[in-house]
Chains A and B, each alone.
Chain A
Amino acid sequence: MAASMGKGGVTSFQKKSRTKTLQIPGTRPSSHGNQLLVSTGVPSLDHIIGGGIVVGTVLLVEEDSFGNYARLLMKYFMAEGIMTRHPLLLSSAELHPKQLLRDLPAPVSDDIGKAALHQENVSSEKNVEKEATMKIAWRYQNLRTEQPELGAFSQFGHYYDLSKTMSSEMTDTAPSRLFYLPDELPLEEQGMWNGIRNPAYVKLLQSIQDVVREGQFDLTVPQPKDMSRTVLRIGLHSLGSPLWGEQDGGTSHDTSLPHFLHALRGVLRTSLAACLITIPTHLFQDMAFTRRLEKLCDSVIRLESFAGSEKEQNPAYKDYHGLLYIKQLSQANSLLSYMPDCNDFAFKLRRKKFAVEKLHLPPELQDSQQREQDDPVAALKTPSTGCFSISGKSKLDF
Chain B
Amino acid sequence: MFTELNIILGFDHLKPPKGQFVLISDSLTDGSFLIHHFLSLYIKGGWKVCLLALAQSFGHYNAVGQKLGVPLTQAREKGQLRFIDGLKCSLQMYTCTPQEGQGENPLRVLRDKKATLRPLYDLVKTQVCSEEGVLDGPTLLLVDDLSVLVSLGVSAKDVSDFMHYCRVLMCPTQQSQGAIVSLVHKDADVEDEENSTLFRHMAYHGTVHLAVEGLSSGYSRDVHGQVTVTFRNVQDPSQSQTRKRRLQYKVEERNVSFFAPGTSRAVL
In the assembled complex, B103 has its CB within 8 A of some CB on chain A = no
Residues from chain B with a CB closer than 8 A to the CB of A263 are 90-91, 94-95
Contacting residues of chain A (317-361) with chain B, CB-CB under 8 angstroms: 328, 331-337, 339, 341-343
**A64-72, A151-159, A285-293 - interface stretch:** A285-293
Partner of A331, one of B32, B59, B148: B32
Q: Are A266 and B32 in contact (CB under 8 A)?
A: no
Compute how far the CA of A197 lies from the CA of B203 in the bound complex, rounded to whole angstroms.
Answer: 32
Partner of A333, one of B33, B59, B88, B111: B59
In the assembled complex, A306 has its CB within 8 A of some CB on chain B = no
Residues from chain A with a CB closer than 8 A to the CB of B88 are 266
Chain A: interface residue total (CB-CB under 8 A): 39
Given contacts A197-B94, A206-B95, A331-B32, contact A255 B153 (CB under 8 A): yes
In the assembled complex, A98 has its CB within 8 A of some CB on chain B = no
Within the complex, the shortest CB–CB distance from B137 to chain A, in Å, comes to 29
Q: Are B192 and A270 in contact (CB under 8 A)?
A: no
Given contacts A196-B111, A333-B59, contact A291 B187 (CB under 8 A): yes
Chain B: interface residue total (CB-CB under 8 A): 43
Within the complex, the shortest CB–CB distance from B184 to chain A, in Å, comes to 12
In the assembled complex, B152 has its CB within 8 A of some CB on chain A = yes
In the assembled complex, A205 has its CB within 8 A of some CB on chain B = yes
In the assembled complex, A258 has its CB within 8 A of some CB on chain B = yes
Compute how far the CA of A252 lies from the CA of B156 in the bound complex, rounded to whole angstroms.
Answer: 12
Q: Are A292 and B59 in contact (CB under 8 A)?
A: no
**B5-13, B172-180, B249-257 - interface stretch:** B249-257
Partner of B87, one of A205, A206, A262, A288: A262
Residues from chain B with a CB closer than 8 A to the CB of A332 are 56, 60
Contacting residues of chain B (164-188) with chain A, CB-CB under 8 angstroms: 185, 187
Closest residue of A by beta carbon distance from B91: A266
Residues from chain A with a CB closer than 8 A to the CB of B189 are 287
Within the complex, the shortest CB–CB distance from B58 to chain A, in Å, comes to 9
Given contacts A202-B94, A295-B147, contact A335 B64 (CB under 8 A): yes
Residues from chain B with a CB closer than 8 A to the CB of A292 are 147, 151, 192
Instruction: Name the 7 nearest CB pairs between A and B, nearest first.
Output: A255-B153, A266-B91, A266-B87, A288-B192, A336-B251, A333-B63, A269-B57
**What are 10 A-B interface contacts by the 8 Å CB criterion?**
A255-B153, A259-B152, A262-B91, A263-B94, A269-B59, A288-B192, A295-B185, A331-B32, A335-B253, A336-B224
Residues of A within 8 A of B (CB): 32-33, 196-197, 202, 205-206, 209, 252, 255, 258-260, 262-263, 265-267, 269-270, 287-288, 290-292, 295-296, 328, 331-337, 339, 341-343
